Amino acid sequence: MGYPLAGIKVLDMSRVLAGPFAGRMLCDLGADVVKLEPPEGDITRIWGRKIAGISGYFNQQNAGKRDISVDLAQSRGVELVKQLVAAADVLIENFRPDVMGRLGLDYATLQAVNPRLIMLSISGFGANNPDSRRAAYAPIVHAETGLVERQAEISSAFPADMASSIADTNASLHGLVGLLAALYARQQSGRGEHIDLAMVDATMVTNDGMNYALEALRRPLPNEVHETAAGHLMLAGDFRFIWHQLHNVCGVQDGLQEDAPLEEKIAARRKAAHHFFNVVCASRDAVITALDKMNIAWGDVRRAGDVSEIAAVQARESIAEVDDRAGGVRRIPQSPYRFAHGQAAVQGGAPHLGEHNVQVLDSWLGMSAEEAAQWRDVLVSNVPDPD
């Protein structure tokens, strides 16, 4: 079957994470993804460890893409982008909603250039509303949608941002769903589509506890990390469930009368649970055996750098190695898709700024080297000389 999106051309004009991650997934699925950058490059080119001039963060989100750098401050640069759009199936951008219009690259204009174009526009708050012009990165959306407040409530700490850019990646994946749906619909209609995707919408719909907030209910207590003889373990289920299993399956007692005050019961039961997981079960094997007997899901609280120790990660080869452009390899998360018949995989490392200027103009527009040279004034390349 091969790669399911082979032959699909994607022009990725997005920056940082929300758009680039969607482009990376399309690339993993076989699409020809061309990242279009301004002369100064994506800001993430300076984030993380650099190898051969390519940062780790940029490499993760842009692996396998080709790269063209165009100066959109020049009218000829905008004209060149329109020619690329004419050849594209998909365009991804995550500017504020009015930026593409000011560049002369709004959807109405591009639809006239290519009626089959599917355009994904990701922004913090969506188009055509009072918040549209607000700058919005993931932490802003986390704060606005209640995630930061909820995290502070759980940890009894001063409000702080999440450890992962949830709002960005949610928007990426919902954008990916929208793109794939539009590509399928285009097979029937022959028409393109414009998807206006707001990070705030994607975050709210992906928040499985949003119903409690909308219905003014107190959300149940979260899963907790427990100190055990096996180390710090995250146990699935609130403490009431954990205690129910400890008492009914393993016979753990709280030592109190049935009519004891609730607060006293909770304290006694937590003390009994701690004793069971650290004294009665005095080894890791004993703790894990007891948890499995109670059918309680558990997980080691690991450092992110230790994920390669997970048996499933090893078995599924979830961490790939790509060319580091310096004679070695660098590690990167592999595509998460495992098909019975099709293929999906990271296609290689990330490109240098403007590395494929001439190559893209040839393969997408059929330009000869001489014809491509006529656009030299709007093209930028920053490919380091080989050592």
* pLDDT band of 387, cuts 50, 70, 90: low
Statement to judge: residues 92 and 155 lie in one domain: yes
CA distance 209 to 216: 11
| Contacts of residue 82, Cβ cutoff 8 Å, sequence gap at least 6 | 105, 109, 110, 113
User: How do residues 186-237 score in pLDDT, each as one tens digit?
Assistant: 999 999 999 999 999 999 999 988 998 898 888 877 899 999 999 999 999 9
| CB neighbour class for 42 (10 Å; exposed up to 12, middle 13-18, buried from 19) | buried
Distances (CA, A) of 129 to 98, 137, 204: 11, 18, 17
Query: First-to-last CA distance in the chain?
Result: 40
Residue 309 lies in a domain: no
- What is the pLDDT, as a whole number, of residue 14? 97
CA distances from 148 to 140, 141, 204, 342 (A): 9, 9, 13, 39
Half-sphere exposure of 47 (CA within 13 A, CB side): 13
Residue 69 has pLDDT above 60, yes or no: yes
**Domain count across the chain:** 2
Amino acid found at 123 = S
> Which residue carries 């006694």 as its tokens?
268
Q: What is the CA radius of gyration of the chain?
A: 26
Q: Check residue 2 and give its pLDDT.
A: 94
Q: Tens digit of pLDDT for each residue in 234-256?
A: 999 999 999 999 999 999 999 99
Domain enclosing residue 337, as ranges = 9-209+317-378
**Domain co-membership, 167 together with 66:** yes
Give the pLDDT confidence of 135-183 residue by residue, as tens digits: 899 999 999 999 999 989 888 899 999 889 999 999 999 999 999 999 9
Q: Are residues 184 and 322 in the same domain?
A: yes
In this structure, what CATH number is given to the domain that contains residue 45?
3.40.50.10540
Residues 247 and 338 in one domain: no
Active site residues: 168
- State residue 357's pLDDT score: 96
Query: Can you give the pLDDT at residue 386?
Result: 61
111 and 56 assigned to the same domain: yes
Instruction: Return d(Cα 26, Cα 66) in angstroms, integer.
Output: 13
